[in-house]
Structure 1
Amino acid sequence: MSTSAFPGLNLAITTPFDLSGQVDFGRFEALIERYLAAGVDGFVFSSGTGMHVYLTPEESRCVIERGARVVSGRAKVIAQASALLTADVVARTQFAKDAGADGVMVLPPFFEGPSDDESIFDFYAEVAKVGLPIIGYNVPQAVGVRITPDLLRKLCELPEFRAVKDSSGDLISQVRLIATGLDVINGADPLVPFSLFAGCSGLIWGGANIAPRTCVAITKAAKEKRWDDVRAIGRQLEPLMSLLWEGDYVQHVYAAAHVTGYGCGSARKPFGSISSDRIAALRQALGGLVEQEAL
Structure 2
Amino acid sequence: MRRLGAAAPSAPVATALGRGDLRIGLDAGRRAQLLRHLHPVPQHWPVAALTRQRDAGDAAGAAWLRADPCRVQPDINGARLLAVGEGLGLDAQDAAQLLPALKPLFGDAGMPIDAPVPTRWYLRLPPSSSLPAFTEPDDALGADLFEHLAQGPEGRRWRSLLSEAQVVLHNHPWNARRQEAGRPAINSLWFWGGGVLPDHVGSDHAQVCSDEDVAGALASAAGVARPLPARFDAGGGDLLFDLVALRDAATLERDWLLPALDAVRARALDALHLDFADGSVRTLTRGQRWRFWRRPASGFASA
TM-score of the pair, normalised by structure 2: 0.24
Q: Which has the higher helix share?
A: 1
- Decide which structure has greater strand share: 2
| Greater RCO (Cα-Cα under 8 Å, separation 6 or more) | 2
